[in-house]
Amino acid sequence: MKVVCIMQARVGSSRLPGKVLKEICGRTVLEHDINRLKLVSNIDEIVIATTVEEQDDEIVKESNRLGVKCFRGSENDVLSRYYFAAKENNADVIVRVTSDCPCLDYNILNDMIKLFLQRSNDIDYINNTMDRTYPRGYDSEIFTFNILENAFNNAKRDYEREHVTPYMYDLNNKFRLMSYKNSSDYSRYRVTLDTPEDLKVITAIYESLFKKNEYFLLEDVIEFLDKNPQIANINEKIEQKKLGE
């Protein structure tokens, strides 16, 4: 089965405009994302899914510079963007990550994909967010093209179209779901990029860890935040946007 990682990215962001093109340690956030994804051995292809809006020409330029495919689709109907990107690239299995996660751990994704492929006859969808044990910023979802097509054809609510997967993990729709959990609960930490406070935290992490190991892992981040609570506290009160906001 062909495994395609589709990463959504756009310049527009209400809380931190242009966040994925901001530079940390001399590289854009999008470049850090892609470099980390390239280490995931179970991914056959990486596709950046951006919008048809003119401002996102910058995402296309950056994708071209970094040597990855870019697909352009609807700004608000992100579900359709994913569907057509997956269809164009003949995906059997889709790995969904977002571009605001520059600390993404390739080992976690490798393990999740491996498990999904092993269980492909009896599960449709797996994520590490239903029972959250990872920090925000490590969110990953894996699902079949068939369930994506089902959602594309049947999801009606705005938030289902905007956030891609709510229709899939809605228990009423009776898909075969699996939750992927870490052995320790680190959900108290926030390592996603959505606000200026988040940028401060992620910049501090990179400035401490990047020179020693460009592809530092979850355990490195946890050790740093445990030792530097003043950094972790910078964005501890930031609330994630709710579905539909």
- Mapped onto helix, strand or coil, the DSSP state of residue 177 is strand
Report the alpha-carbon distance of residue 183 to residue 38 in Å, rounded: 25
Alpha helices in 67-157 (DSSP H): 78-88, 106-118, 145-154
Helix H or strand E segment including 27 = strand 27-28
Q: Please state whether the predicted TM-score (pTM) of the whole model is above 0.85.
A: yes
In the chain, the domains with their CATH numbers are: 3-235 (3.90.550.10)
Q: Within a 13 Å sphere around the CA of 127, how many CA atoms are in the beta-carbon half?
A: 16
Amino acid at 107: N
Cβ density class 49-74: b for 16+ within 10 Å, e for less: bbbeeeebebbeebbeebebbbbbbb
Per-residue confidence (pLDDT) for residue 140, from 0 to 100: 97
Tens of pLDDT along the chain (245 residues)?
Answer: 999 999 999 998 778 989 999 999 999 999 999 999 999 999 999 999 999 999 999 999 999 999 999 999 999 999 999 999 999 999 999 999 999 999 999 999 999 999 999 999 999 999 999 999 999 999 999 999 999 999 999 999 999 999 999 999 999 999 999 999 999 999 999 999 999 999 999 999 999 999 999 999 999 999 999 999 999 999 998 887 666 54
